[in-house]
Chains A and B, each alone.
Chain A
């Protein structure tokens, strides 16, 4: 029986893939396996079993240290063969996206990366992703025997988990260490920012007149208990760090509430917010594109609106 094989270097994403993969596998009459690789493989395997995988392929081979793309691709290609995988679903994290291309090439497979939704239609899986910089959504199937999908974190929601266990399989892998060596790992400057997990998100754009005015926005975020993100201009001007960038070249977010402040609404930004439950936009230009993407719009200068809004959201 063919399988759907799932893997991500992020255990949170791997669990989403195992959970939803199980549903797809049942519909297609396939089995569901997962791969757990590297130092944390044993702990990850237990979780992947609990979240839906029938079989978990575990390897702590020394060559996997640092999870270099060439070695992980090699390991997954061997596991895909042993699992008789028809689909390999990878988390489209930075490492995962890089891995998808290399693995697909190794398997002679077609691949779709940055997939934000998957549906089962006529006995096969259809992947949807943004194209033309976010202006359109391309829906694609893959025609090769093995199909590789790299699925965005949080594309799949975990609902009720019927606790399973999953059989641990220890494949005999033949791996060679990568010529790429990790010389050093450095902590990033500034506090860790996790925009893709934010339940409430505020983004600031070119409507902010000066870097010195950022505290006004930060005070609003604190009152709303929201994370702060921004558009590319603010990163280019170095007003905010790159880990706050939301959109095409930054984070794709999925908050329940998103508030846009002084943002024009180019697709390069809106591609990162389109999965929000509720979108609020404040912009002084009543023709700003952002209002087409908003559930609720306020035409007004952020300098006039924010003080009142900050007071009003306290404790809400």
Chain B
């Protein structure tokens, strides 16, 4: 089996500060997304279960200048090989452009039996890229998998939808997106971190994929991206517990959210 895991590296959200309602991204380090680690782990577990399986991590550098270091984490976890697409044109690309670049790269790598995404990226969480890539590759997809098992001519996935759990089966090739429930991503050992540097890593530009800046130009127009204005009352209730509780009941009754 051949598995490709397209991963996204994004600014460490714990380090993003808000200044004058603007997110400050300067000097914020990039890291592998949380759900992307779940996707890598899911691929490695399928590899262990099925045997004779190659796991490839693929990424678009977007704005990450230290992309090689970040991708080493996927290799240290156990991915066999990495492909990195770096191009300034990708910095402004939206989901449509990124999906196109990922789909082209997957074709250049020679396709895959299973393509595993996180259900969304840590920073933007649009959940669009996986389904867009599936459409571009003409492949079926199973979103929100919380369990994956190799089976029959393809793969079996379990997912939680509304108030029921669905068990689905799909032939290869198939695009899967996974939720954080699926596994606990492994933390690479020092030995594996050392070995990661020696694993094969290929660098491409958009031109290598037969694409140009126009092909990945954004379809959406972001008018603004600001922290919300606080519109809460921020009233602190003083006194001992009984006084605080009495004041709260009084306030909530006046607000009309408790019955008198």
Contacts and interface: CB of A to CB of B under 8 A. Distances in A.
Contacts, number: 244
Interface of B is mostly: mixed
Most buried by B among A187, A188, A296, A304: A296
A266 B14 CA distance: 9
Interface string B158-186: 00111111111111001001011100000
A70 B127 contact: no
Contacts of A73: 135
Given A182-B167, A186-B165, A295-B234, A140 B132 contact: no
Given A133-B122, A137-B225, A296 B235 contact: yes
B241 interface: yes
A280 interface: yes
Interface in B227-260: 227-228, 230, 232-237, 241-242, 244-246, 248-249, 251-253, 255, 257-260
B223 A132 contact: no
Interface of A is mostly: mixed
A46 to B, nearest CB: 22
A83 interface: no
Interface string B126-137: 111111101110
Nearest to B13: A133
Contact of A298 (B125, B218, B227, B244): B244
Interface stretch (A21-29, A54-62, A99-107): A99-107
Interface range, A side: 35 or more
Contacts of B221: 140-143
Contacts of B122: 133
Given A141-B223, A181-B169, A192 B252 contact: no
Contacts of A135: 13, 16, 18, 23, 227
A174 interface: no
Interface residues of B, number: 80
A69 B143 contact: yes
A97 to B, nearest CB: 5
A188 B171 contact: no
A143 B135 contact: no
Interface in B142-164: 142-144, 156, 160-164
A280 B258 CA distance: 13
B128 A186 contact: no
Interface string A119-156: 00000001000111101111111111000000000000
Interface of B: 11, 13, 16, 18, 21, 23, 94-96, 99, 122-132, 134-136, 140-144, 156, 160-171, 174, 177, 179-181, 218-228, 230, 232-237, 241-242, 244-246, 248-249, 251-253, 255, 257-260
22 contacts: A70-B141, A104-B96, A105-B99, A110-B220, A112-B220, A114-B127, A131-B124, A131-B225, A132-B16, A143-B220, A179-B140, A179-B171, A183-B156, A184-B166, A185-B167, A294-B233, A297-B236, A297-B237, A300-B244, A312-B245, A316-B253, A316-B260
Given A98-B127, A105-B131, A278-B257, 10 more contacts: A95-B143, A137-B225, A139-B224, A178-B140, A183-B169, A188-B165, A280-B248, A297-B234, A308-B245, A316-B259
